[in-house]
Amino acid sequence: MSRRLVVTGAGGALGARLVPRAVRAGWEVLALDTGRAVPESEGVEPCSVDVTDPVALAEAFAGAGGVVHLAARPSPLGHDPHDVLSLNVGGTLAVLLAAETAGVEHVCLASSVNATGAAFSAAPRYDWFPVEESHPSYSEDPYAISKFLGEQAADAFARRRRAAVLTSLRFHGLRERYGQDDPGREAERRKDLWGWVSFAAASAACLRALGRRRPGHVVANVVGARTVSPVPTAELAARFHPGVPWRSAPTGNSSFYATDVAARELGWDAADDDPVITAAERPRTA
Q: Which residue segments constitute the domains of the chain, with CATH numbers given? A: 4-281 (3.40.50.720)
Q: What is the mean pLDDT of residues 249-271?
A: 98
Distance between CA atoms of 7 and 241, rounded to whole angstroms? 38
Residues 6+ apart with CB under 8 A from 278: none
The pLDDT mean for the chain works out to 96
Q: How far apart are CA 96 and CA 108, in angstroms?
A: 10
At 35 the pLDDT is 72
pLDDT in the model for residue 28: 97
For 111, list phi and psi in degrees, rounded to 5: -110, -155
Q: 59 falls in which pLDDT band (50, 70, 90)?
A: very high
SS3 42: coil
- For residue 286, pLDDT beyond 70: no
Answer yes or no: are the C-beta atoms of 71 and 48 closer than 8 Å. no
**Residue of 238, 85, 42 whose CA lies nearest to 246:** 238
> Percent of the chain scored above 90 by pLDDT?
94
- Using left for φ > 0, alpha for ψ between -120 and 50, and beta otherwise, residue 263 falls in alpha
CA 188 to CA 11: how far, in whole Å?
Answer: 29
pLDDT at 44 over 90: yes
pTM metric for this prediction: 0.97
> How many angstroms separate the Cα of 48 from the Cα of each of 37, 42, 73, 275?
9, 18, 17, 30
> pLDDT tens digit string along 93-146?
999 999 999 999 999 999 999 999 999 999 999 999 999 999 999 999 999 999
In single-letter form, the type of residue at position 256 comes to: F
Distance of CA 263 to the CA centre of its chain: 15
